[in-house]
């Protein structure tokens, strides 16, 4: 994830810091047992990882997926360490997961499973050492169950708004992506985002809200896709209608229109646009298609959409890539506000949440841009330079190194 060798061309990274940043502080496997009836016990694997907590409590979602592994949980926790440090929020990197298919088990079994997971990590939840949130497969209602077990509103974020969750949390990641798109468009392409053409892969939480915010800024979204395929219109898509259609749970392949063209996912990625926003899954820009990317700039909204080889090719071709740890951090910034409110009793409106996210994004973008100019490097390296420098300083301040 971090190429220390490259960063060391610009900053000094002590050996001890590298050891602490490459070794998770805690990586636990849980056997979560639930009794379904006499002589009938089900055992699910669970994983809890705290990567580096020098900045504060381990923060990161709990993933519900049948194929989640300890290795994947470690990688995701590591990403959180760098993201929180980059954004200047007092959290360390954490993640957890339970290996089950959330669509395949009845509600009562899901609730029993979550309660048992909470029981097994209760000491850390009550101490505030780990603060979970929704991730793939888990929902605000699951966070409400966690809250119900701990009785501490600050023990979990992503709760439903009437239980202390945050207005604006659902939109937060897309909000941050759209803010970064505006800033990067101006700084890198020298034009206003309202004059830009944009293609977005993914129309879930992140993709759809990104499209919605950018459309409201006046940008021309010419293509958007989901797993079923995509829609294309050179003059710009009717984003509000599409947003309404997908928010009712529909796939884009069923979108009724004879005026729009269809585009498949591989072709969407190579459309000639100002900005390409991969907002679906990881590893979609690879050594196979990076030479065919025609966008003037890539803004990574999904986690890890560009493989290292793909990244290298884009870098050689001088296609700027704004990295995921910056672009999609609006969600964790909002989680920080929810956690802070839970501790203080404060309440925040969606507009205040958006303003806070925008402020953090602007400040961090400018810091990264400063580093890219100073060291003549790209945005990904600039972001990791800032994040790692902060982590090293914090480790010094806490006498860890």
Closest CA to 332 of 156, 80, 74: 80
Of the residues 139, 267, 286, 303, which one makes contact with ligand NAD according to CB under 6 A: 303
Collapsing DSSP states into helix, strand and coil, what is residue 89? coil
Contact 198, 160 (CB under 8 A): no
Q: Of residues 83, 95, 159, 360, which has the active-site annotation?
A: 95
Cβ proximity to ligand NAD, 17 vs 305, nearer residue:
305
Q: Does residue 205 belong to the site contacting ligand NAD (CB under 6 A)?
A: yes
Nearest-approach distance from CB 290 to ligand NAD, in angstroms: 17
Q: By CB under 6 A, is residue 201 in contact with ligand NAD? A: yes
160 binds ligand NAD (CB under 6 A): no
The reply to whether 90 sits near ligand NAD by the rule CB under 6 A is no
Going by C-beta distance under 8 Å and a sequence separation of 6 or more, which residues neighbour residue 401? 14, 16, 17, 20, 392, 395
Distance CA 84, CA 91 (A): 6
Degrees, nearest 5: CA angle 206-95-269: 30
Q: How far apart are CA 279 and CA 240, in angstroms?
A: 18
**CA 372, 375, 380, 384 torsion-angle sign:** negative
225 binds ligand NAD (CB under 6 A): yes
Residue 95 annotated to the active site: yes
Cα–Cα dist 76/325, whole Å = 11
Binding mask 263-302 for ligand NAD (x = CB under 6 A): --x-------------xxx-------------------xx
Q: State which residue, 7 or 331, has the beta carbon closest to ligand NAD.
A: 331
Q: Does 75 bind ligand NAD (CB under 6 A)?
A: no
How is residue 291 written in tokens? 């030479």
3-state DSSP helix/strand/coil % of the chain, to nearest 5: 50, 15, 35
Residue closest to ligand NAD (Cβ): 204
Residue in 314, 331, 364, 388 binding ligand NAD, rule: CB under 6 A: 331
Task: Select 239 or 280, whichever has its Cβ closest to ligand NAD.
Answer: 280
Residue 204 near ligand NAD by CB under 6 A: yes
Sequence-ordered strand ranges (E) for 40-173 = 40-50, 58-59, 62-64, 92-98, 130-131
Please work out the total of residues on this chain that contact ligand NAD, with binding judged by CB under 6 A: 20
What's the min distance (Å) between Cβ of 247 and ligand NAD?
11
What amino acid positions are annotated as catalytic residues? 95
Q: Which residues bind ligand NAD (CB under 6 A)?
A: 173, 201-207, 225-227, 265, 279-281, 301-303, 328, 331
């Amino acid at each position: 994830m971090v190429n220390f060798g490259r960063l060391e061309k610009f900053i000094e990274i002590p050996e001890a810091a590298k050891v602490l940043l490459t070794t998770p502080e805690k990586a636990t496997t849980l056997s979560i047992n639930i009794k379904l009836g006499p002589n009938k016990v089900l055992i699910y694997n669970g994983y809890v990882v705290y990567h580096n907590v020098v900045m504060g409590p381990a923060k990161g979602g709990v993933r519900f997926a049948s194929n989640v592994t300890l290795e994947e949980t470690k990688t995701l926790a590591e990403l959180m360490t760098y993201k929180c440090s980059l954004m200047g929020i007092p959290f360390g990197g954490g993640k957890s997961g339970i290996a089950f298919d959330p669509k395949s088990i009845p509600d009562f079994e899901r609730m029993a499973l979550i309660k048992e997971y909470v029981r097994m990590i209760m000491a850390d939840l009550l101490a505030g050492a780990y603060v979970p949130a929704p991730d793939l497969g888990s929902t605000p209602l699951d966070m409400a169950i966690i809250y119900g077990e701990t009785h501490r509103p600050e023990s979990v974020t992503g709760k439903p708004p009437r239980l202390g969750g945050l207005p604006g949390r659902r939109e937060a990641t897309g909000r941050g992506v759209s803010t970064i798109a505006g800033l990067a468009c101006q700084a890198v392409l020298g034009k206003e985002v309202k004059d830009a053409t944009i293609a977005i892969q993914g129309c879930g939480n992140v993709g759809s809200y990104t499209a919605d915010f950018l459309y409201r800024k006046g940008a021309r979204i010419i293509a958007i896709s989901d797993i079923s395929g995509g829609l294309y219109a050179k003059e710009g898509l009717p984003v509000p209608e599409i947003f309404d259609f997908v928010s009712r749970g529909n796939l884009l392949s069923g979108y009724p229109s004879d005026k729009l063209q269809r585009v498949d996912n591989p072709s969407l990625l190579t459309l000639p646009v100002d900005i390409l926003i991969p907002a679906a899954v990881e590893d979609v820009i690879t050594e196979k298609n990076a030479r065919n990317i025609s966008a003037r700039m890539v803004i990574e909204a999904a986690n890890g959409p560009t493989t290292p080889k793909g990244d290298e090719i884009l870098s050689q071709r001088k296609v700027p890539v704004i990295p995921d740890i910056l672009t999609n951090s609006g969600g964790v910034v909002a989680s920080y506000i929810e956690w802070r409110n839970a501790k203080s009793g404060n309440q925040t409106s969606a507009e205040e949440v958006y303003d806070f996210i925008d402020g953090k994004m602007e400040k961090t973008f400018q810091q990264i841009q400063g580093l890219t100019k100073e060291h003549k490097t790209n945005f990904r390296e600039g972001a990791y330079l800032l994040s790692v420098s902060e982590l090293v300083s914090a480790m010094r301040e806490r006498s860890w190194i």
